[in-house]
Amino acid sequence: MFKKVFRYLILGLGVYALIATLVITFYKDDPQAMIWQDREAFNKRFIAKLSIEKPTTLNNVLDDLGSPDLTYAKRVDEDVWQVIFYRTQHVKSDGITTMDECTGLLFKNGQLILWGPSAHETYMRQG
């Protein structure tokens, strides 16, 4: 009797481990489906992993983070400048996402060149 229960217990744990591994490996987080607290944390973690050494495009960011909370774009000569903002810190519960609650990512011709507080300042200085 004990051996039979033990076998089912081991089998159950094995199936659980397999399912958990498959979910972790293949399930892609969808920021659009997250509650705002989870999305904020997800955005913050993603932005913290950005690196100048690893080129990042606007399309890569949109694929991973979804649509931005705020976005501004302009053309200066032949260059297209775009700054997008994702919420990374809660400030006030008023139902409105403002720039002080977000981290900006600055793109020049679709390539990420700067992120953080100076992204918007640099964008404003262009043209």
Q: Would you identify the CATH topology of the domain 2-125?
A: Beta-lactamase Inhibitory Protein; Chain:B, domain 1 (3.30.1450)
All structural domains of the chain with their residue ranges: 2-125
Which pLDDT score, from 0 to 100, does residue 32 have? Answer: 66
List, for the chain, all residue ranges whose pLDDT scores fall below the cut of 70: 27-33
pLDDT at 25: 78
- C-alpha separations of 13 from 4, 8, 110 in Å: 14, 8, 47
HSE-CB for 91 with a 13 A CA cutoff: 10
What's the pLDDT at 4?
Answer: 84
- The strand pairing partners of 42, in sequence order, are none
pLDDT of residue 72: 94
Burial class (CB in 10 A: 0-12, 13-18, 19+), 127: exposed
